């Protein structure tokens, strides 16, 4: 059938086909804080969807609803696949998932990083994914040990100064 005979308003449906957010194939380890953040995100998205649904005839709101619902599916899947860890039960002499690690680089600069799950990672808060090159260098290291952080601009050598959970 020719599109000329279809009465649907094509603009009404434009942009509503939002691609799904890709899910990681890696195990979804989360800290208690990470799981709480996932649940809070779902709650915030539910509130946003409720507000947007009140604007039934607004095509922009329809597109935002589609985006919010897509994000809700993503975060629901992340919660479903979450593997909760309890960092406080870990051995404090070795760096593992959930550790807060204080390191000193070869120039004497002190930094602290927390090793967390993919969804909780935020470099501005010094939270790094357990899959990151930095976390991979730190995991398994012991207090006082030197590790090599392989970076594109060259390797950095870090000495573990403190491990907290």
At 24-60, the pLDDT tens digits run: 999 999 999 999 999 999 999 999 999 999 987 888 8
Are 140 and 94 in contact by the 8 Å Cβ rule? The answer is yes
pLDDT of 10 higher than 90: no
Pull the structure tokens for residue 119.
């969804």
**How do residues 71-120 score in pLDDT, each as one tens digit?**
999 999 999 999 999 877 767 889 999 999 999 999 999 999 999 999 99
Q: Determine whether domain 26-84 maps to CATH 3.30.70.
A: no
Q: Are 128 and 115 in contact (CB under 8 A)?
A: yes
Provide the residue ranges of all domains of the chain, joining segments of one domain with +.
Answer: 26-84, 87-164
Contact at 8 Å (CB) between 130 and 29?
Answer: yes
Asked if 72 and 46 touch (Cβ cutoff 8 Å), the reply is yes
The model scores a pTM over 0.85: no
Render pLDDT for 111-146 as a digit per residue (tens, 0 to 9): 999 999 999 999 999 999 999 999 999 999 999 999
Domain 87-164 part of CATH 3.90.226.10: no
């Amino acid at each position: 059938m020719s599109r000329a005979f279809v009465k649907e308003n094509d603009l009404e449906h434009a942009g509503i086909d939002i691609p799904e957010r890709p899910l990681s194939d890696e195990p979804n380890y989360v800290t208690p804080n990470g799981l709480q953040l996932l649940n809070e995100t779902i709650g915030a998205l539910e509130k946003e969807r409720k507000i947007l649904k009140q604007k039934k005839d607004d095509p922009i709101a329809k597109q935002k609803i589609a985006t919010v619902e897509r994000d809700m599916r993503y975060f629901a899947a992340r919660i479903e696949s979450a593997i909760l860890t309890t960092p406080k039960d870990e051995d404090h002499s070795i760096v593992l998932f959930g550790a807060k690690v204080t390191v000193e680089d070869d120039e004497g600069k002190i930094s602290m990083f927390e090793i967390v799950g993919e969804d909780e990672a935020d470099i501005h808060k010094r939270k790094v994914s357990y899959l990151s090159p930095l976390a991979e260098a730190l995991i398994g290291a012991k207090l006082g040990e030197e590790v090599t952080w392989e970076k594109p601009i060259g390797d950095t050598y870090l000495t573990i100064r403190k491990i907290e959970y």
